[in-house]
Structure 1
Amino acid sequence: MTQSARDQVPRMLALVPYLRSREGVPVEQVAKDFGVTTAQLVKDLNVLWFCGLPGAVTGEMIDVDMDALEADGVVHIDNAEFLPRPFRLTVPEALSLIVALRTLRESATQTELPTIESALAKLESTAGDGAAASAAVQVHIERADPQVHDTIREALEKGRRLQLAYLVPARDEQTDRMVDPLRLLTAEGWQYLEAWCYRAEDVRLFRLDRIASAEVLTAAVDTHDQVARRDLSAGLFRPGPDHIEAVIDLDEGARWIAESYPIEGSEERSGGRLRIRMRIADPGWLRRLLLSLGGAARLIAPEAMAGEVQRAAQDALAGYEDAPIGPAAPYDRNNDPS
């Protein structure tokens, strides 16, 4: 089953009880609630039209009123009584949701906390004795500047555009970004703003602790109907077709690279070295990383870039050797470490 199919099946199973309890809901609202585009939701409804119990024939399938969908932009379904309500949660499913809600609670606003606490109480009651197992999971979220967080919340609630001052570590520079905020999310222990970036002309994730300042603008956000929220089920980093595959040999002292950055594979080599494969979007970032590691890392491929890194290292070494040596500082017994 493809990744898109794995996403679509549970979404459609949840879609039926959702639609049965919301007769005539606007299709845009359904798409927003399920985190997909309107076009994707219409595709789901077209598939749902041919779904039913095993052995069902025409007339026994779920009925979707396509005329109302096309004419009025609302969704009506019928003949779906066999899915009257959401499925019961198993204990593992309930525990997963408990941990997820505890994570969400770490970054929630005061107005959101009562809803989260209420949902947690219900889930912990459902899980019974199994809920005690979730206590062993410690949730820690790196917190951003509260003022930045509150400003982003305000923009989301009011539907306003944001002006950000954002630090890009890969280039060691601060950039100005005008964005339409889409949502706040937490992933891998960090808080992120997902937003449409006018500079990149695409959806981007901004880590909140790297936002130096945020300002709510008077302009309202544009509607980005064709923009789907990012799927984080496979992790934050999604290599693109234009990303470069790099092969790097790491000495023992640089093995932390394999744990700190997303890699696509690793292989033990002689002498305690580890060979890793990773995809990168910015060659400059990789160049700076390798230079900072000195002789503890060696770029194997791509060969052209490996030569560039080697020449840059030689130039840096030559510059260091040619630097004038000033007079020695006078001896100060108070600074003698012995």
Structure 2
Amino acid sequence: MSGGRLSTRLSRLLNMVPYFLANPGISAQEAAAELGVSTKQLMSDLNQLWMCGLPGYGPGDLIDLSFSEESIEVTFSAGIDRPLRLTSIEATALLVALRSIADLPGMVDPTAAHAAMAKIEAAIPGNRPADAPAPGAPVEAPAVAAVRHALAAGHALRLVYYSASRDAVSERVVDPIRIVLVDNNSYLQAWCRQAEGARLFRLDRIQEATELDEPARPPHHATDEAAALDLFSDDPSVPLARLLIRPDYGWVLEQYPMHRMSVRPDGSVEATMRFATLDWMARLLLGFGAGVTVLGPAELVTAVRERSRAALAAYENLEVA
């Protein structure tokens, strides 16, 4: 499970105990609708939550729940309903985590995050006094604020978006689903009406966002958390590069959206990768040097070969000069 999916689920689990304490006896269907998950996912979360609690992990330490699809009730909260007293080390760790999240566009309301940080800092012995003015929260980009507001209101969005892979700016209407964290970047997961598919839009590449006065209606299958977090959808209309990756360049497979196809006896890996423009892909592959060899398509092989020759010729001219 990716870090983005884990953090999303952890946040949901932490909110479930106070939610069900405030809504005793609520049905699984009602709770799932309010929490924005499927009934199946909710029941899976409840089974997970049932095994959580305080160190010791005995009957008096674990969260206890009485749940079925008809009714859910917390019978023992394991202290989650009580204010938490943090040690200095715990408070510092929480501050670091809050700062890292607050620095990511769209993940949280920056004003609320910085207010929480100010309260935690004031509670740490020897730190800033509680009545001292808190540093101002950074101003949130208008586009990011519009995305968060539309998501909360359940409205569609019109985006002006810069695609790095295509090196182009496009305008499209999307139905927001959620904001996710992938590889330390925050993305809007949404149903793109133009592409007719679930897509992720990196928030710092959204140049403009306009909330529309119409409800967001992503297809039901697009809202499934497990199915829709693929950052680079396998769109058959986008060209496919076939690559041979040397054994000592295995890190490339982790850093780029490649699909492993087979492993050769010498340990090299055959993989594929979708790309939008020939020039962009050729530049990327040249940066890998001899670590990655292009197997196809023919036009990409030609582009890489021609760029390599041009680069060698430029070096030769420098040596002569």
Which whole-Å CA distance do the structure 2 matches of 1:185 and 1:179 have between them? Answer: 16
Which residue in 1 is equivalent to 2:193?
198
Q: Give distance in 1, aligned partners of 2:123 and 2:244.
A: 49
Alpha-carbon distance, 1:161 to partner? 0.7
1:151 aligns with 2:146: yes
Q: Is the 8 A contact 1:177 1:198 kept in 2?
A: yes
Question: 1:290: Cα distance to partner?
Answer: 3.2
The correspondence for 1:121, drawn from 114, 118, 121, is 118
Deviation digits for residues 89-131 of structure 1 (CA, Å, limit 9, x no counterpart): 565553343133334545789x945533332133335554699
Give the corresponding residue for 1:290.
Answer: 282
Determine which structure has more spread, i.e. the larger CA radius of gyration.
1
- Contact 1:179 1:198 survives alignment (8 Å): yes
Asked if 2 retains the 8 angstrom alpha-carbon contact of 1:156 and 1:183, the reply is: yes
TM-score (norm 1): 0.56
Q: Structure 1 residues 156, 54: closer, same or farther in 2, change over 3 A?
A: closer
Q: Is the 8 A contact 1:262 1:278 kept in 2?
A: no
Partner of 1:23: 24
Give the unaligned 5+ runs of structure 2: 129-137, 259-266, 312-321
SS at match of 1:79: strand
- Looking at structure 1, the residues matched to 150 and 244 of structure 2 have their Cα atoms a distance apart, in angstroms, of 42
Structure 1 residue 211 and structure 2 residue 192: aligned?
no
How far, CA to CA, are the matches of 2:241 and 2:86 in structure 1?
43
| 1:155 shift after superposition | 2.3
Find the aligned partners of 1:6 and 1:155 in 2 and give their Cα distance.
Answer: 22
- CA pair 211-48 structure 1, distance change in 2 beyond 3 A: closer
The 2-side partners of 1:7 and 1:192 are apart by 13
TM-score, normalised relative to structure 2? 0.58
Map of 1:36-75 to 2, 5 A cutoff? 36-45=37-46, 54=58, 62-66=64-68, 69-70=69-70, 75=71
1:40 counterpart SS class: helix
Aligned partners of 2:64, 2:167: CA distance in 1, in Å? 55
C-alpha displacement of 1:185 = 5.8
Return the alpha-carbon distance in structure 2 between the equivalents of residues 184 and 9 of structure 1.
15
Residue 180 of structure 1 deviates from its aligned partner by 1.4
Q: 1:198 to 1:297 in 2, by over 3 A?
A: same
Q: Aligned pair 1:311/2:302, yes or no?
A: yes
Q: Which residue of 1 aligns with 2:133?
A: none
Q: Kindly, what percent of the aligned residue pairs are identical?
A: 26
Partners of 1:91 and 1:127 within 8 A in 2: yes
Amino acid at match of 2:66: V
User: Does 276-285 or 4-13 show the bigger shift?
Assistant: 4-13
Cα pair 1:263 1:278 within 8 Å, conserved: no
Is the contact between residue 17 and residue 77 of structure 2 (CA under 8 Å) also seen in structure 1?
no
| Amino acid paired to 2:39 | T
Q: CA deviation at 1:246?
A: 4.1
Among 215, 218, 223, the residue aligned to 1:220: 215
CA separation in 2, counterparts of 1:5 and 1:101?
A: 16
Change in 2 beyond 3 A, CA 1:120/1:179: same
- State the match for 2:156 in structure 1: 161
Q: What is the correspondence of 1:184-333 to structure 2 with a 5 Å cutoff?
A: 184=179, 191-222=186-217, 227-229=223-225, 246-248=243-245, 261-262=255-256, 281-284=273-276, 288-291=280-283, 294=286, 297-298=289-290, 300-301=292-293, 304-305=295-296, 308-314=299-305
| AA of the residue aligned to 2:295 | A
C-alpha separation in 2, matches of 1:104 and 1:8: 15
Alpha-carbon separation, structure 1, partners of 2:184 and 2:59: 47
Partner of 2:170: 175
Query: In structure 2, how many angstroms separate the alpha carbons of the residues matched to 1:203 and 1:180?
Result: 9
Cα offsets for 1:170-222 (capped at 9, x unmatched): 12333332211234566666553232223444432212343343333232112
Supply the distance in 1 between the matched residues of 2:287 and 2:204 (Cα, whole angstroms).
Answer: 31
Mapped pair 1:101 → 2:98 = yes
Computed over aligned residues only, the root mean square deviation of the Cα atoms, in angstroms, reads 5.6
Structure-2 change in CA distance of 1:33 and 1:277 (3 Å):
farther
CA distances 1:28-78 after superposition (whole Å, capped 9, x unpaired) = 67547867433201233356678996479xxx9945242xx43xxxx5314
Equivalent residue, structure 2, for 1:79: 75
Partners of 1:198 and 1:61 in 2: how far apart?
43
How far is 1:278 from its partner? Answer: 10
Counterpart residue identity of residue 192, structure 2: C
User: Could you tell which deviates more after superposition, 10-19 or 165-174?
Assistant: 10-19
